[in-house]
Chains A and B, each alone.
Chain A
Amino acid sequence: MTTTEIPAADGKGLVKIGQPLLRREDEPILRGEARFTDDVPIPGALYMEVLRSSHAHARIRSIDTDAARTSPGVVAVYTGADLAGEWVGQIPVLIAPDPAPLLAPRWGPIATDKVNYVGEPVAVVVAETRARAADALEAIVVDYDVLPAVVSPEDACTDRVVIHDELGTNKAYTWEVVITPESVDAAFADAAYTVKQRHIQQRCLPAPMETRAVCAVPDPMGGGGFTLYSSTQMAHLLRTLLAMTVGVPEQKLRVIAPNVGGGFGSKLQTYPEESLCLALARRLKRPVRWVEDRSECGVAMIHGRGQVQDIELAADSDGKITAVRVHLLGDLGAHCKLFTPGIPVIGGPFYHGCYDVPAFAITITSVYTNLPPTDAYRGAGRPEATYAIERAVDGLAAEMNMDPAEIRRRNFIPPFENGHQTVCMVPFDSGNYEPALDQALELAGYEQLRKEQADRRASGSTKHLGVGIASYVEVCGYAPSRMMAAGGGKFSLWGTSVVRFLPTGKIVVTTGSHPHGQGHETSWAQIVSDRLGVPYEDVEVLHSDTAIAPYGVLTGGSRSLSVEGAALSVTCDKVIAKAKTLAAHLLEAAEGDLEFNDGSFNVKGTPSRALPITGLAHTAAFDAHLLPEGMEPNLSAETTWDPPNFTFPFGTHIAVVEVDEETGAVALVKFVAVDDCGNQLNPVIVEGQVHGGLVQGIGQALFELAAYDDDGNPLSPTLADYLVPSAAEVPSFTLGSTVTPSPSNPLGTKGVGESGAIGSAPAVINAVVDALAPLGVTNVIMPASPMTVWRTIQAARAAAPNAKENGR
C-alpha cells in the first residue's frame, strides 16, 4: 500500500473500521512538538543522578558521601541506608509460576548492604542542575567487598555461589507441565525420527527511542499530594504500586505518562527511579526529576529473553510429530520485577507451536544471576517458544530430507472457527494456519527460490542462498480474569472506556490504555466514528493520566485493541442503545421500528424523519426535560470489560538470506510476513506494527546481544556496541495477511503488536542454517554475527571435512 494515497474521512467526515488511516498523533511527534516526560517544564525542579554499582556481586562496606555533599549545587546525597525508612512495602510479583512455589529475594529501590548486578542503584545525588548532580556523583566513594559473580544460568544452577543468602539457592522455581508422561516416553520410544536441539535466547536490550524519565512534583496547591510524570506503559498500575511501596496514599497520587517514546515491555514496570523521585520529592518538598542516560539504559532497564532451551521432537515415519519435550532454563537476573518469573511460563504452553501434538512435556527451571532482571520484552515468552519449535521442526525436515513447508503442512492443527483445546488445555480461539503458509510461499516465490538455490549450489558459489520458514501461533488479549488467575496471574486486567457526548455533539473518549507508539488516538476515534456515525475529527481520545482516564491496567501483550478497544466498542453500543430509546420517544415510535445508519435514527422505510445522534446528545444534555421518564440526562456510557478468552494470532514468515562463506556475513535479501491478527481495524497501523516487530526479531537474530564478561561487567551498554538495526539493514518487507476473526471480542481482532518479533527470528536463523547446510552446518546461535557464522562454518568443516553437497 502506498501511504501517500491513503484517503481520509468521507464527505461527512466519517471513517470506517477497516479503513486505512494515517495516525493523527504522528505529526506533532515528527515535527518535534510533542512533549515527552523530560520536556515537561517544572519550575524549581531538582535533578537526581543515580550512582550505580560497578560490581556484579559485592557487599557494600561503606559509602563516603562527604565530598559529594559539599560539591557545588548539591542539595542532598543519600545512600540506601539513608532512605530505608521511605519504603513501606516491596514491589510484588504479578505473574508467578502457579502452583510451583516461587523463591523470591527481598529487594528495594536502592541497595543497602549488597549489590547484585552492575547498574543497581547504591546512592543518589540531588542537585540544582543535572550537570552539578553528575559532577557530585563522581565524588562518592564506595568501598566494596567484591564477591564472585554468577553470570550464566548454568553456573547459577550449581549453587557454587548463592546470590541471595536468605533463599539458600539460586533456583527460583521449577514448573512442570507434563501431559500424560507415559505417552511422551512412549512417543520417543516408538519414534521413527527424533530431533534434539539446544538454543540460546540471548539477553536483549529493549532500547526504546526515549529512555526512561521521571518527575515527581509535590502538589503546588498544598494539598499534600503528588503528581508523578513517568515514561511508563502503565500509569494506573504504577500509581497503585507506588502507593503500596512508597506509602503515598493512592488517591493523593496522580500519575501522568505524557508522550512515551516506545517501551516494548521495558516500561511495563515499577522502577527504582520512580520510587526514588517520589520519595525524595516528599522528603525535600520540591519537584525531583531524573532522566536516564542512553548508556545507563542498558544496565538500569530490564533485559529481554535470557533462556537456554533444550527441545526434543519425536515423529513418525510420515513426519507427523508425536511428542515434544522441553527443558527450559530461565535467567531471571538479580531479582524478580513485576513479571520476571512469569515470562518463561507464559511461553511454556506454546512450545508445540501451531502443530497438533498429542504428547507434550515441559519443565522450566528459573534461576537468579548477577545480571539485570529480565522481564517482558516484545513477545514475552512466545518468541522464545516459537524459536525453539520452529528450529526443531526445521531440524526434523532436514533429518527426513523433507521440504520444510511440507513438514509444517503435515502437522498444522486443522482449521477451527470457534475453539480448539490444545494439548496443554489452552483454549485457542480460532485458527486456520495453512492459508497463511500458502500465501507466504506464494509471495516469496518459493519454488523459484529453491531452483535458484539449487543452481547456486551447483555453481560452487561461495555466496550461499538460504530460505527459512517460521509458522507461529501466539497469545494476546491479556485480560480474561479467570484464565489469568488459572495461569498464575496475581492481578486482573480488564478493559475500560468512557464515551462522553458533549452538548455540541462532539465526543470525548477516555480509555484505560496507555499508548506509547501504537496509535490508539487514531484507532479509538476510528472505532467511535464507525460505531456512532460521527465525524472522526469530532472524537478526542484522552488517556495516560490517572486524573482523567478510567483505571486501565497496562498496555502490553498486544492487548489494547482486543480488550480496551473492545471495551470501547461495547460502550458505543450502550450509547446507541440509550440514544435509540430517546429517539423512539421523540419520534413516538417503537424502538424495534428504528434503524441506525451513519449516525442517524429513523423509522424503517421513512428515512426523511431522521434524528442524528449528535442532536440527541444535545437534547439529552440541554433539553433534558424532553427525556422519557426515568432516563438520566447526558448521552454517555462507560464499560469495564472482562473478555471471555484470550486471542491467538498466527502466521508464517519467510526469510531469504545470502551468506558469504568467506566472511560469514549474512545479507537479508527478502522477507515475507503473512500475519493473521483477525479483523484489521486500520491496515496502516497493522503494517507499521509488523514492520517494527520484524526489525526487532531480525535484530535478535542477526545483531543484538547484551554482552557480559565473566565478572558480570556489561560489554555493550551503548548503542555503538549494542547493535540495533536500522532501515539500512533490512530489505523492503513483503507483507500479506489472512483474516480469521476472533470470537473472543466484539471487534473480532486478535492483536499484532508482537507477531513481527515472534516469527522473524526463527525464519532468519532457519534461512541461515538452510544456506549453510551443504557445508554441514546444522545450527547457528543468535545473533548470527559474521564472526559467529564464520566460526560455525570452520567448526562444521573441521567436524566433517568431506561434507557432502547434498542440499538440505
Chain B
Amino acid sequence: MISAAFDYVSARSVDEAVSALTEHGDDAKLLAGGHSLIPLMKLRLASPSVLVDVGRLRDLSYVRDTGDEIAIGALTRYRDLEINDRLQADLPIVAHVAGLIGDPQVRHRGTIGGSLAHGDAASDMPAVVLALDGTLVARGPRGERTIPAAEFFCGFLETALAPDEMLTEIRLPKATGAGWSYQKFRRRALDWAIVGVAAVRNGRTGVALVNMGSTPIRASAVERALASGSSIADAARLAADGTEPPSDLNADPEYRRHLAEVLVRRALEEADGAVTAQR
C-alpha cells in the first residue's frame, strides 16, 4: 500500500492543468478528490509519473442555474451536491445519489468530475448523468468542447477525454417535477452497487445501469419499449438486453441480469409513483 514514486504539480488554473497534461502526456494523471486514483496507486495498479492536482481549483466547484439546464463544476464534491437546494428542487436524483456514494469521508472528498472522468461502470454518477442525457464540457490545448454523455464512456475505465483534456463542467437538463428513482443494490451501505439503476421519467424515460458491463450504459431496450407503449413489467424484462455484466464475488452475470430486471421494474414503478404522488 505504498505507491511508486511520482512528481507532483499543483495546478492554479485549468490552463495550468491542461498545459501540465500537454507536457507530460500519458504519464500524467489529474488528481481531484483522489478516491479512485489514490487506491489504485497504493496497490500499484496505477503508477503515473506525474500527478497534476486540480483539487484546489475552487472556482470549479459550483451548481448554477443556466435556464433549461443546471451546470455543475467538475470539482464539486458529493457532499456539496447532496445538500444543494437548487439540485434538490430541479434535479433531486443528483442530490439523492450523491448522498448514497461511499461514506461521509468519501462524500466530503470525492468530486463528480473525478468520478465521471474515471469512467467506472460501478460508480453511481455516470449512470445518473446518462439517464438525464447530460452533456460534459472538456477543456484542452485546443480550447473547449462539449461531449454528450451517451458518447462519453468508451471502454473499461476509458472515456472520450483525450490525455491532455480536463473535464470542467457537467450540464444536466432540469427535471423539475419529473418522476425519478435510483435503485442501488449493495450488501453494505458503503459499497459500490452490485447493480444500480437510474431512471428519470420526464416526458421521455431515461434508464441507465450501473455495473452491468465494462462501461456505464443506457438500458436502451427498456427505453425503446416504454417509448412504444410497453408496460413497466414488460419493459423491465429487457433490462439486461445487450449487456455483458461482470462476474465477481457478489454476483455472476446471470444473477446480475436477474437483478437488473427486478431493479429496473422497481425503479420505473417508483418513478411513476413519485409522479403520481406529486399529482
Interface residues of A (CB under 8 A from B): 130-131, 134-135, 138, 293-296, 662-663, 665, 702-703, 705, 707, 715-716, 718, 720-721, 723, 725-726, 728-729, 785-787, 790-791
CB distance A294 to B1 under 8 Å? yes
Taking the complex as formed, is B259 at the interface, i.e. its CB lies under 8 A from any CB of chain A? yes
Known: A786-B194, A787-B250. A131 touches B187 (CB 8 A): no
CB distance B187 to A786 under 8 Å? yes
CB distance A726 to B188 under 8 Å? yes
Q: CA separation between A14 and B108, bound complex, in Å? A: 45
Write the nearest CB–CB distance from A662 to chain B, whole angstroms: 5
Known: A135-B5, A787-B252. A729 touches B189 (CB 8 A): yes
Of A130, A663, A726, which one neighbours B259 at CB under 8 angstroms?
Answer: A663
Interface residues of B (CB under 8 A from A): 1-2, 4-5, 43-44, 185, 187-191, 194, 248-252, 255, 258-259, 262
Specify the main secondary structure of chain A where it touches its partner. loop
CB distance B262 to A728 under 8 Å? no
Enumerate the 7 nearest inter-chain pairs by beta-carbon distance, A residue then B residue, closest first.
A728-B189, A134-B2, A293-B1, A787-B255, A662-B262, A131-B2, A787-B251
Write the nearest CB–CB distance from B23 to chain A, whole angstroms: 25
Write the nearest CB–CB distance from B27 to chain A, whole angstroms: 17
Q: Output the nearest chain A residue to B258 by Cβ-Cβ distance.
A: A790
Please give, as numbers and ranges, the residues of chain B lying within 8 Å of A294 by CB-CB distance: 1
CB distance A707 to B249 under 8 Å? yes
New A-B contacts (14) at CB < 8 Å, excluding given A131-B5, A295-B1: A134-B2, A135-B5, A293-B1, A296-B1, A715-B249, A716-B249, A718-B43, A723-B187, A725-B188, A726-B188, A786-B185, A786-B250, A787-B250, A787-B251
Of A135, A293, A663, which one neighbours B185 at CB under 8 angstroms?
Answer: A663
Q: CA separation between A63 and B9, bound complex, in Å? A: 38
CB distance B185 to A705 under 8 Å? no
Write the nearest CB–CB distance from B85 to chain A, whole angstroms: 26
Of B189, B250, B259, which one neighbours A785 at CB under 8 angstroms?
Answer: B250
Write the nearest CB–CB distance from A471 to chain B, whole angstroms: 28
Please give, as numbers and ranges, the residues of chain A lying within 8 Å of B194 by CB-CB distance: 786
Of B188, B251, B262, which one neighbours A723 at CB under 8 angstroms?
Answer: B188
Please give, as numbers and ranges, the residues of chain A lying within 8 Å of B255 by CB-CB distance: 786-787, 790-791
Q: Output the nearest chain A residue to B251 by Cβ-Cβ distance.
A: A787
Most buried by A among B189, B251, B255: B255
Please give, as numbers and ranges, the residues of chain B lying within 8 Å of A138 by CB-CB distance: 44
CB distance B249 to A705 under 8 Å? yes
Known: A131-B2, A135-B5, A295-B43. A729 touches B188 (CB 8 A): yes
Q: CA separation between A237 and B187, bound complex, in Å? A: 40
Please give, as numbers and ranges, the residues of chain A lying within 8 Å of B43 by CB-CB distance: 295, 718
Q: CA separation between A785 and B187, bound complex, in Å? A: 8
CB distance A703 to B188 under 8 Å? yes
Please give, as numbers and ranges, the residues of chain B lying within 8 Å of A716 by CB-CB distance: 249
Q: CA separation between A431 and B249, bound complex, in Å? A: 42
Q: CA separation between A313 and B220, bound complex, in Å? A: 55
CB distance A728 to B249 under 8 Å? no
Q: CA separation between A702 and B187, bound complex, in Å? A: 9
Write the nearest CB–CB distance from B221 to chain A, whole angstroms: 20
Q: CA separation between A716 and B190, bound complex, in Å? A: 17
Q: CA separation between A787 and B5, bound complex, in Å? A: 40
Please give, as numbers and ranges, the residues of chain A lying within 8 Å of B185 by CB-CB distance: 663, 665, 786
Write the nearest CB–CB distance from A29 to chain B, whole angstroms: 19
Q: CA separation between A791 and B259, bound complex, in Å? A: 12
Write the nearest CB–CB distance from B123 to chain A, whole angstroms: 13
Q: Output the nearest chain B residue to A718 by Cβ-Cβ distance.
A: B43
CB distance B191 to A663 under 8 Å? no
Write the nearest CB–CB distance from B248 to chain A, whole angstroms: 8
Please give, as numbers and ranges, the residues of chain B lying within 8 Å of A718 by CB-CB distance: 43
Q: CA separation between A605 and B121, bound complex, in Å? A: 82
Most buried by A among B1, B189, B258, B259: B1
Please give, as numbers and ranges, the residues of chain B lying within 8 Å of A130 by CB-CB distance: 2
Q: CA separation between A703 and B258, bound complex, in Å? A: 21
Q: CA separation between A52 and B98, bound complex, in Å? A: 39
Q: Output the nearest chain B residue to A293 by Cβ-Cβ distance.
A: B1
CB distance B190 to A135 under 8 Å? no
Please give, as numbers and ranges, the residues of chain B lying within 8 Å of A703 by CB-CB distance: 187-188
Write the nearest CB–CB distance from B128 to chain A, whole angstroms: 21
CB distance A721 to B1 under 8 Å? no
Most buried by B among A702, A703, A723, A787: A787
Please give, as numbers and ranges, the residues of chain B lying within 8 Å of A729 by CB-CB distance: 187-189
Write the nearest CB–CB distance from A141 to chain B, whole angstroms: 16
Q: CA separation between A703 and B262, bound complex, in Å? A: 22
Please give, as numbers and ranges, the residues of chain B lying within 8 Å of A787 by CB-CB distance: 250-252, 255
Q: CA separation between A122 and B248, bound complex, in Å? A: 29
Q: CA separation between A296 and B1, bound complex, in Å? A: 9
Please give, as numbers and ranges, the residues of chain A lying within 8 Å of B251 by CB-CB distance: 786-787
Known: A726-B188, A785-B187. A663 touches B262 (CB 8 A): yes
Known: A663-B185, A705-B249. A726 touches B190 (CB 8 A): yes
A-B contact pairs, 30 of them (CB 8 A): A130-B2, A135-B4, A135-B5, A293-B1, A295-B1, A295-B43, A296-B1, A662-B262, A663-B185, A663-B262, A665-B185, A705-B249, A715-B249, A721-B248, A721-B249, A723-B187, A723-B188, A723-B191, A725-B188, A728-B188, A728-B189, A728-B190, A729-B187, A785-B187, A785-B250, A786-B185, A786-B187, A786-B255, A787-B250, A790-B255
Please give, as numbers and ranges, the residues of chain A lying within 8 Å of B248 by CB-CB distance: 721
Write the nearest CB–CB distance from A54 to chain B, whole angstroms: 14
Q: Output the nearest chain B residue to A665 by Cβ-Cβ distance.
A: B185
Q: Output the nearest chain B residue to A724 by Cβ-Cβ distance.
A: B188
Please give, as numbers and ranges, the residues of chain A lying within 8 Å of B2 by CB-CB distance: 130-131, 134
Q: CA separation between A130 and B44, bound complex, in Å? A: 15
Q: Output the nearest chain B residue to A787 by Cβ-Cβ distance.
A: B255
Q: Output the nearest chain B residue to A727 by Cβ-Cβ distance.
A: B189
Please give, as numbers and ranges, the residues of chain A lying within 8 Å of B190 by CB-CB distance: 726, 728
Q: Output the nearest chain A residue to B3 by Cβ-Cβ distance.
A: A131
CB distance A726 to B189 under 8 Å? yes
Q: CA separation between A138 and B4, bound complex, in Å? A: 10
Q: CA separation between A663 and B187, bound complex, in Å? A: 11
Q: Output the nearest chain B residue to A728 by Cβ-Cβ distance.
A: B189
Write the nearest CB–CB distance from A689 to chain B, whole angstroms: 23
Please give, as numbers and ranges, the residues of chain B lying within 8 Å of A663 by CB-CB distance: 185, 259, 262
Please give, as numbers and ranges, the residues of chain B lying within 8 Å of A723 by CB-CB distance: 187-188, 191
Q: CA separation between A665 and B187, bound complex, in Å? A: 8
Please give, as numbers and ranges, the residues of chain A lying within 8 Å of B259 by CB-CB distance: 663
Write the nearest CB–CB distance from B185 to chain A, whole angstroms: 7
Please give, as numbers and ranges, the residues of chain A lying within 8 Å of B1 by CB-CB distance: 293-296
Please give, as numbers and ranges, the residues of chain B lying within 8 Å of A662 by CB-CB distance: 262
Please give, as numbers and ranges, the residues of chain B lying within 8 Å of A293 by CB-CB distance: 1
Q: CA separation between A703 and B189, bound complex, in Å? A: 12
Q: CA separation between A135 and B2, bound complex, in Å? A: 9
Q: CA separation between A721 and B251, bound complex, in Å? A: 12
Q: CA separation between A791 and B187, bound complex, in Å? A: 16
Q: CA separation between A72 and B15, bound complex, in Å? A: 36
Write the nearest CB–CB distance from B200 to chain A, whole angstroms: 22
Q: CA separation between A665 and B185, bound complex, in Å? A: 9
Q: CA separation between A791 and B252, bound complex, in Å? A: 11
Q: CA separation between A294 and B43, bound complex, in Å? A: 11
Write the nearest CB–CB distance from B192 to chain A, whole angstroms: 8
Write the nearest CB–CB distance from B31 to chain A, whole angstroms: 18
Write the nearest CB–CB distance from A74 to chain B, whole angstroms: 14
Please give, as numbers and ranges, the residues of chain A lying within 8 Å of B5 by CB-CB distance: 131, 135
Q: Output the nearest chain A residue to B191 by Cβ-Cβ distance.
A: A723
Most buried by A among B185, B248, B249, B251: B249
Q: CA separation between A715 and B262, bound complex, in Å? A: 28
Most buried by A among B187, B250, B252: B187
Q: Output the nearest chain B residue to A129 by Cβ-Cβ distance.
A: B2
Write the nearest CB–CB distance from A296 to chain B, whole angstroms: 8
